[in-house]
Amino acid sequence: MRAVQVVQPTGPADVVVTDVPEPTPKDGEVLVDVHRVGISFPDLLLSKGQYQLRPEPPFTLGVDFAGVVVSGPAGFEPGQRVAGVAGHGNAAERVASPADTTFALPDSLSFDEGAALPMNYLTAQFALAERGRLREGETVLVHGAAGGVGTATIQVAKGYGARAIAVVSTKEKAAIARAAGADEAVLLDGFKDAALELTGGRGVDVVVDVVGGAVFTDSLRALATQGRLLVVGFAAGQGIPEVKVNRLLLNNVDVRGVGWGAFAMVRPGYMQQQWSALLPMMESGVVKPPIGSTYELEGFGRALIDMEERRTLGKSVVRVRD
């Protein structure tokens, strides 16, 4: 079968599609014919050898997938539509996915949307509910709001009854964020003053920051009293920002790390609980992933390059089979 592999961690241009043996599922694993694979930021880092996971090459990329069950343990029936997630290994025509990280996909969602769900939406749910302690009626400011994690955060925030303010770099991206459900969209240049104006000078309750870099200090300044700045990533690539803790004390605000994988992967059943929390949002239509570009399997490397060059809007998806 075909799979997308890293032979040498020298970047997305060197990712290859090659033949590998079909997987043999172990106890507790679901054998799935993959229809779609989502493009994720860890894939890009893995292709460069820059991710915290360092699998020995050659290895298969692919974090998110959606497909059809071939066989599985109790609770999974042949022909059932599912989505799943792993650190890597899912960009292949067939995968053996742990039952704990494989989820029933509602009929209302396509395979494209299914492949866009797991990592981004579970991260968003963990960030907002577990780390951010988001409450109904609060205001969430979302950086990188037109990307996969950004649009997921907007939708999950709305699912929890919050107001979502999107921060974007262009008017085109503002339209993407609004279409995803953002109540307002503001440009990155001057976002702090815009957020304060939109909240009557009070500030926002939660900032979700996947960008890092230069936006960090102004994100702190945009917080209301007892606001929470959630650090999800550093997509800007401008180094890891630092915080002067006196600012936290004076304004009674928090900076909280969001490491979904490190938390969820070592807690059996946790991701299934998260998926259950998201299901009502999927069924209501609040959670419906916006799909950006689609690629064939041979275009996986090209999709990673587009992500690296910040051309990605919404979630990019790779088509494995019809």
Confidence (pLDDT) at 310: 81
pLDDT of residue 27: 96
Query: Which whole number is the average pLDDT over 65-82?
Result: 97
Calpha distance 61→39 (Å, rounded): 10
Share of the chain above pLDDT 90, in %: 86
* Packing angle of the helix pair 118-125, 148-159 (nearest 10 deg): 50
pLDDT for res 235? 58
Determine the pLDDT at residue 143: 96
Q: CB–CB of 156/125 below 8 Å?
A: yes
Give me the residues paired with residue 31 across strands: 71, 96
The predicted-structure confidence for 226-255, as pLDDT tens digits, reads as follows 999 999 976 555 567 777 787 888 889 999
Task: Determine the 3-state secondary structure of 114 from DSSP.
Answer: helix
Q: What are the tens digits of pLDDT across the range 153-164?
A: 999 999 999 999
pTM (global) more than 0.85: yes
pLDDT of the residue at 169: 93
pLDDT at 52: 84
Give the integer Cα–Cα distance in Å for 172 and 296: 25
Q: At residue 278, does pLDDT exceed 70?
A: yes
Domains contained in the chain, CATH given: 2-117+289-319 (3.90.180.10), 120-261 (3.40.50.720)
For the segment 300-316, the average pLDDT, to the nearest whole number, is: 89
Question: Looking at the DSSP assignment, which residues form a beta bridge with residue 17?
Answer: 4
**pLDDT beyond 60 at 56:** yes
Rounded-to-integer distance, Cα 165 and Cα 150, Å: 11
Residue 268 has pLDDT above 60, yes or no: yes
Q: Is the pLDDT of residue 85 over 70?
A: yes
Please state, rounded to an integer, the average pLDDT across all residues of the chain: 94
Q: Are 225 and 171 in contact (CB under 8 A)?
A: no
The answer on pLDDT for 260 being more than 60 is yes
**Residue predicted with more confidence, 81 or 313:** 81
pLDDT at 237: 53
Confidence of residue 174 (pLDDT cuts 50, 70, 90): very high
